[in-house]
Amino acid sequence: MLSVLRNRTYRHLFAAQVIALAGTGLATVALSLLAYDLAGPEAGAVLGTALAIKMLAYLFIGPIATALAERLSRRTLMVAMDLARAAVALALPFVTEVWQIYVLVLVLQSASAAFTPTFQATIPEVLRRQADYTKALSLSRLAYDLESLVSPVLAAAMLAFVGYEWLFTGTTAGFLASAVLVASVAVPKPAPAEASEGRWAKTTRGFRLYAATPRLRALLCMHLAVAAATAMVIVNTVVLVQDVLGGTDGDVAIALGAYGIGSMAVALLTPRLLRRATDRRLMTAAAFVLAAALVALTAALATGAFGWAWLLANWFVLGAATAAILTPTGRLVTASAAPNDRPAAFAAQFSLSHGWFLVTYPVAGWLAAADMTAAAAVLTCIAVAAALTGRIIWPARDAVALAHVHAELDPDDPHLAGAARVGDGWIHSHYFVIDARHRHWPRNARPCDAARRTPAGARA
């Protein structure tokens, strides 16, 4: 897996991602302590509002920023967003009012909403071999998991010697280091976008691509199952451990660690798993595992069978199934968009997948405050519905090359070279994505004989 780090450009970009994630983890701890200083017992409400602002920024800002930034190079955009995030982190220690937290969080997360999809769209251009790109996705998943495990430990070590304000300094340093690493390499230029598109069309391009592509609609369902499980873990672990099981702060860390270990284990195995199974088979199976684990959680809470060993095992399974969905996501998005549309596709993926948390976080928090079993039951129903819907709408014979008919193109259009006349149009087969010439998925889409394999097998 580490062989992809021999690529200098990817090595620098991956290092930038890891360092920035470490800084973000420090900021998360520091922001919690800052909120408590300013709001005392109301700190939870402050953090809840900040989290909602974060998700709203992810949902709306990403596509807008991607559309506005099409005239910038990817490297320039990513460096600018890192510098913006560093400036916000540097300003946070000087906050004296709660509303200032909200404003700075909005700016910080808006910059992240522009940086992350651009970064994700760049990697498949750097690593063009499918096997290398799959390894990079696994490394990226590991980076996120390590951030959730290592950053709290690093923060605790720093807090033993300095005040929490210095954690923001560490965050600033992380973003500045990320900017330097990104600036140190040549990033591939994106293909030119459609010149005829207006600003609104550019902003919504990724959403329209998602809506028109069956496998991406199914992917969105997979992400809803992930959001249901993740919300249960992130929001309610502390309550389950301390109130239900009578554990300590250290036990909360152990429980979250079990979730992270499960995720890392599957992230490491994903390249091997995808050599034996299609993306559809792996990801739909993982969605049903998430649903089954939540069913088991609900039953254990309802019957009083909930225990410490059971929690650790369940959280491990949830982490593993989550990684089995999140790790291959980049393959699916890359295979479903033309190179010039990938930034918009990744921006839509980033926004839509995070948008589900605007549903699942309130369910996990507000319902659990009244009845933990009811919260688990509702999240279970969401996960089951998402897994079933995703499996139904994801074509079982999903392929990258589809036979389809063009009735609207001029017969002399170069795109029709080699096509055969049929009725009022022309039929041919090729690597199929939604773009300017193909605005709708073919009805009764039929794979051509040369490409009856997982969509991630296609690279353009």
Q: What is the largest CA-CA distance in the chain?
A: 78
- Structural domain 207-396, CATH architecture: Up-down Bundle (1.20)
416 secondary structure, DSSP code: G
Q: Which CATH number describes the domain made up of 1-186?
A: 1.20.1250.20
- Residue 269's nearest CA partner among 383, 444, 134 is 134
CB 428 within 8 A of CB 420: yes
Scanning the structure block, which residue is given the tokens 């909602």?
A: 52
In the prediction, which pLDDT does 160 show?
A: 74
* Rg of the chain taking only CA atoms, in angstroms: 23
CB 372 within 8 A of CB 244: yes
pLDDT in tens, the chain (460 residues): 578 888 899 899 989 988 888 887 778 777 767 776 787 656 656 766 777 788 788 777 767 766 666 667 888 889 999 999 999 999 988 888 888 888 888 888 888 888 888 888 788 888 888 788 878 877 887 777 666 666 666 776 777 787 878 888 888 999 999 999 999 998 877 655 554 555 666 667 778 888 888 889 999 999 999 999 988 887 788 778 877 888 776 677 788 778 888 888 888 888 888 888 888 999 999 999 999 999 999 999 998 888 888 899 999 999 999 999 998 888 888 888 877 777 778 778 878 888 888 888 888 877 877 888 998 999 999 999 999 999 999 988 776 777 777 777 777 777 777 778 887 777 877 767 777 777 777 775 555 544 444 444 444 3
3-class SS at 188?
Answer: coil
In the prediction, which pLDDT does 177 show?
A: 94
In the chain, the amino acid numbered 9 is T
3-class SS at 403?
Answer: strand
CB 434 within 8 A of CB 208: yes
Give backbone dihedrals phi and psi of 419, rounded to 5 degrees, phi first: -75, 155
Q: Round to whole Å and give the CA distance between 198 and 344.
A: 14
In the prediction, which pLDDT does 199 show?
A: 61
The structural domains of the chain, with segments of one domain joined by +, span 1-186, 207-396, 401-457
CA atoms within 13 A on the CB side of 397: 10
CB 219 within 8 A of CB 329: yes
Q: Round to whole Å and give the CA distance between 174 and 158.
A: 15
In the prediction, which pLDDT does 27 show?
A: 80
Q: Do 1-186 and 207-396 come out as alike in CATH topology?
A: yes
